[in-house]
């Protein structure tokens, strides 16, 4: 009975020693020898890390560095790409690259995207990226802000290039329906531009020549001296009409002296717009109002020397162009004093002209003189 425990212990020790797994657990924790690694599996692990590197500089078309550009390095046949940002001097670099074929993709604000040609890296190589230059993008969005006066100035500059048959000025027609309103300064500049146009001088010269041939206003005389007087009077009339009708009155009443081309609609609506524009003009606030310059619509160049009632001596006004035989009732002093006001009274509407003419005829006791014009208008 006493030998049973000893026999049992011997049996258990024999079983434990015969089983390697149980034997190792009894030995205790400790370092185990490394398992042998096949030679064919060591190279891919080292190659995945890579020893090649590539560096380059991002430049623009002028050769200046482009900082903050996004540079991506993509490998052919591999998923994913490595990215970097160019430094202040435009430089960038990629390290730890495995061998293979690569290409660069560069993008920067304000420049078009660039994709380089494919280049090859070998293990351990330090390569320089292909030289390239970014070009300015043609789709860059630029927001330009201008004041209404600046917009009006640019539009008037375009209008000053408009001519009918490439000869006759067409400065007072706007083909922009919603054109910016003209400030007062632009109204005067446009009027002066129309006055100094060469066609204006040729038109007045032709009109003075026609009056010279027809011997209109014979008080000017004949020859070169008479033609010069007619030409000077014609220029004075044109200047007064243009400044008053296209600059002074529109500035005072805040109206736009231009004609706005409709460009759409049928013939009836466009004809109505043309007729309506004779009496209604656009204000500086895009609202319409009656044209304050209607009384100036009849240009002095279209005056008609019709026989008008002669004025009494107390109310006579000398015409701007002298007659061959001035009225004996009009003294030279009165004639010279009133001549400067003659140009300011002629552009009244014809209805008012007729009313004043009837009152003058009732007051006049002398025979009408054919060379005297009414204070109310041109006839």
Per-position DSSP letters for 315-368, written without gaps between them = T----SS--SS--TTS-HHHHHHHGGGHHHHSB--HHHHHHHHHHHHHH--SPP
pLDDT of residue 159: 92
Instruction: Give the phi and the psi of residue 25 in degrees, each rounded to 5.
Output: -65, -30
Spatial separation of the C-alpha atoms in residues 350 and 295, rounded to whole Å: 9
Residue 227 CB coordination number (10 Å): 18
Alpha-helical regions (H) of 93-222: 148-159, 184-195, 198-214
| Rounded mean pLDDT, 332-344 | 37
192-240 confidence digits (pLDDT tens): 999 999 999 999 999 999 999 999 989 999 899 999 999 999 999 999 9
Q: Output the pTM of the full model.
A: 0.43
pLDDT of residue 48: 52
CATH of 50-134, one of 2.30.33.40, 2.60.40.10, 3.60.21.10, 3.40.50.300: 2.60.40.10
Query: 280 - beta bridge partners?
Result: 290
Spatial separation of the C-alpha atoms in residues 169 and 161, rounded to whole Å: 8
Residues of the chain with CATH 2.60.40.10: 50-134
81-133 confidence digits (pLDDT tens): 889 999 999 999 999 888 888 989 999 988 888 888 888 888 889 889 888 88
Greater pLDDT, 54 or 359: 54
pLDDT for 28 beyond 90: no
Contact between residue 101 and residue 118 where contact means Cβ atoms under 8 Å apart: yes
Alpha-helical regions (H) of 196-325: 198-214, 223-243, 249-252, 267-276
Greater pLDDT, 219 or 8: 219
Q: Could you tell me what percent of the chain has a pLDDT over 90?
A: 36
């Amino acid at each position: 009975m006493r030998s049973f425990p000893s026999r049992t212990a011997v049996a258990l020790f024999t079983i434990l020693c015969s089983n390697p797994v149980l034997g190792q657990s009894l030995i205790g924790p400790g370092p185990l020898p490394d398992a042998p690694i096949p030679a064919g599996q060591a190279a891919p692990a080292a190659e995945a890390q890579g020893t090649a590197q590539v560096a380059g500089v991002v430049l623009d078309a002028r050769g200046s560095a482009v900082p903050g550009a996004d540079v991506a390095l993509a490998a052919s046949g591999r998923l994913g790409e490595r990215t970097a940002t160019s430094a202040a001097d435009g430089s960038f670099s990629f390290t730890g690259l495995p061998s293979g074929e690569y290409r660069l993709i560069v993008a920067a604000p304000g420049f078009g995207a660039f994709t380089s040609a494919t280049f090859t890296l070998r293990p351990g190589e330090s390569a320089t990226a292909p030289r390239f230059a970014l070009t300015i993008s043609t789709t860059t969005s630029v927001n330009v802000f201008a004041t209404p006066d600046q917009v009006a100035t640019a539009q008037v500059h375009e209008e000053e290039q408009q001519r009918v048959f490439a000869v006759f000025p067409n400065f007072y027609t706007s083909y922009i329906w919603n054109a910016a309103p003209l400030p007062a300064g632009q109204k005067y500049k446009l009027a002066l531009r129309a006055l100094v146009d060469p066609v204006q001088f040729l038109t007045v010269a032709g009109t003075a020549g026609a009056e010279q041939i027809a011997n209109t206003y014979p008080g000017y005389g004949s020859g070169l001296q008479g033609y010069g007087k007619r030409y000077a009077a014609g220029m004075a009339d044109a200047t007064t009409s243009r400044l008053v009708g296209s600059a002074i009155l529109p500035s005072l009443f805040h109206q736009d002296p231009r004609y706005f081309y409709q460009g759409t609609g049928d013939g009836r609506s466009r004809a109505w717009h043309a007729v309506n524009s004779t009496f209604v003009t656009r204000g500086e606030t895009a609202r319409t109002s009656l044209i304050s310059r209607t009384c100036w619509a009849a240009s002095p160049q279209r005056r008609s020397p019709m026989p008008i009632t002669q004025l009494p001596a107390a109310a006579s006004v000398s015409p701007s162009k002298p007659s061959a035989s001035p009225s004996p009732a009009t003294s030279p002093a009165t004639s010279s004093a009133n001549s400067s006001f003659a140009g300011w009274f002629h552009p009244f509407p014809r209805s008012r002209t007729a009313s004043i003419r009837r009152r003058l005829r009732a007051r006049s006791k002398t025979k009408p003189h054919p060379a005297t014009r009414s204070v109310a208008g041109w006839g």
